[in-house]
Amino acid sequence: MSQETAYSGDKPSLDVFGPTERIPELGLIYQKFRGKRYPPFISIDATKRLMNEWHTDEHDIIICTHQKVGTHLTKKFVVELLRATHDFPEGSGLANGDIGHGTVRWPEVTASQHGVESIFDWIEETKGHPRVWYTHCCREDLPVHRIHPKTRFIIVVRDPRAAIVSQFHFYKKHPLLGANQDMTIEALAEYFVQGKLYFGGYHEHALSWMNKARSEIKIEQAIFLRYEELVEDKLNAARLLARFLAPHKHVPDEVLEQVIAATEFNTMKQSIVENPQSFHFNPNVFFRKGRTDEWQEVLSESVQEAINEKSQRLWGDRYAGGPNWNDFPSLSSEINRLNAEDSTTTSNQFPLDVSEILVRDLHVMADEVRKTPADKLWETVPGINNSVGTLAWHLCGNLRHFFGAVLGGDGYVRQREAEFSTRGLTHDELVAEIKATAAAVEAALTGLDPNRLNEEMPNPPPHHQGRTVRFFMLQMVSHFQRHRGQLDYLRRILGD
């Protein structure tokens, strides 16, 4: 495969690869890959390697767009929201708000220009932190061998009439694509409608992500946005992205307003002019207007009609300036979906949180028992009726009965009276019972069906009749912490 270095201005930009062909009417240079046209600065060999070797992980966030449908704007939203909700190493690109190739990477280009190993080096370097990528390929060409079930996808589409206007200006200015300077938008539109420009047809690209993402990627892994919403309804777009990127954090509106301010077209453009960081294009050339309606002034009626006909044919009769077929979600419907998922996630997480608290503090109680002198394990003082040993034994019995036996069905048989009459057990015997209790609690609660949380608690004490499982679990935590506090206070009175 041939390779040469292309220059933009007076500094090297990107290597280009071949063999290449040219679209005579447009001048655009391309390579063929999987039935589509790819730009010359992407190595097909490197892309194939990624398809065979790259496994995403739970930290990966992939922005999926066709060309010129709001990629940089989406990157800015994502980076600013991640900065507001996560801690990144000082001096890192995400900490500094960089949206260039050094921070938000285009995997096919990074692998082509710096070698496939640079992808894996980057993954190792950013391990443990959110990692943002973007790609212009359709779903079936995503250069990934295996998608992690917690990898997240942000899929953005744009009115195709606006997309072609932006692509027209971009192609003519790009130093590596070879566009004829006398290329007309009418000539470009013919190839646009035929689906013969870079990365395949625009309409087909949107359908691939909409349909295949829903069949091959879990719905909770993806959100769908329109460019027009990112421009015209920034607050709700920011709210949606915040819920998606930081589902367990509350992001106040004043923080979202700061994010919105950073994504305003002129602010974003000027910040890159003043401090480009790893952004490799001249923003004065490649950031044009940031409008959503320019196509109305630029496209002839015949071009609009040709694009509309394809949109209606592929996207359905409900087409209205974007992929608005029956299944494509609106911004409000995406927010509602995430709200519902949050509610489900909260319910699923609740038993696990209760388990984590109790198991943690059972081990703390075991340490408190060990610190109590052997000859004082079963002693009391005036005003305190139960010894350290008795309190520990009772708490274990209570948890093993209601969580292990009643909720978990582990067969434990409680002897409540013995919890208060037993004496003489050793440190080791008490600690062994505490460990067995921790195991029983963890097994019962991690295996609990969240649908049971709102059911009535079976066989509770008489004064808790009619309470839900959720309420009773909170009651059990309260009971445990009250008596464990008494245990530790008595231990301190008795002396270590």
**Residue pLDDT, tens place only, 474-490:** 999 999 999 999 999 99
Does residue 125 sit in the same domain as residue 248? yes
Does residue 270 sit in the same domain as residue 402? no
d(CA 132, CA 78): 8
pLDDT of residue 341: 63
pLDDT of residue 374: 94
427 closest CA partner among 373, 359, 487: 373
Does residue 365 sit in the same domain as residue 431? yes
Return the amino acid letter for 455: E
Residues 392-448: tens digit of each pLDDT:
999 999 999 999 999 999 999 999 999 999 999 999 999 999 999 999 999 999 989
- What is the domain count for the chain? 2
Q: What percent of the chain has pLDDT over 70?
A: 91
Does residue 269 sit in the same domain as residue 391? no
Does residue 109 sit in the same domain as residue 244? yes
CB 43 within 8 A of CB 67: no
Spans of the chain below 50 pLDDT: 1-12, 319, 321-326
pLDDT of residue 324: 43
H, E, C per residue of the chain = CCEEEEEECCEEEEEEECCCEECCCCCCEEEEECCEEECCCCCHHHHHHHHHHCECCCCEEEEECCCCCCHHHHHHHHHHHHHHHCCCCCCCHHHHCCCCCCCCECHHHHHHHHCHHHHHHHHHHCCCCCEEEEECCCHHHCCCCECCCCCEEEEEECCHHHHHHHHHHHHHHCCCCCCCCCCCHHHHHHHHHHCCCECCCHHHHHHHHHHHHHHHCCHHHEEEEEHHHHHHCHHHHHHHHHHHHCCCCCCCHHHHHHHHHHHCHHHHHHHHHHCCCCCCCCHHHHCCCCCCCCHHHHCCHHHHHHHHHHHHHHHCCCCCCCCCCCCCCCHHHHHHHHHHHHHHHHHHHHHHHHHHHHHHHHHHHHHHHHHCCHHHCCCCCCCCCCCHHHHHHHHHHHHHHHHHHHHCCCCCCCCHHHHHHCCCCCHHHHHHHHHHHHHHHHHHHHCCCHHHHHCECCCCCHHHCCCEHHHHHHHHHHHHHHHHHHHHHHHHHHCC
Q: Which of 304, 329, 354 is a domain's end point? A: 329
Structural domain that includes position 405 = 345-494
Q: How far is CA 28 from CA 165, 184, 205, in A?
A: 16, 13, 20
Assign residue 283 the CATH number of its domain. Answer: 3.40.50.300
pLDDT of residue 11: 37
Residues 8-22: tens digit of each pLDDT:
443 347 899 989 999
pTM equals: 0.69
In a domain, 26, yes or no: no
In a domain, 443, yes or no: yes
Q: Which of 329, 364, 392 is a domain's end point? A: 329
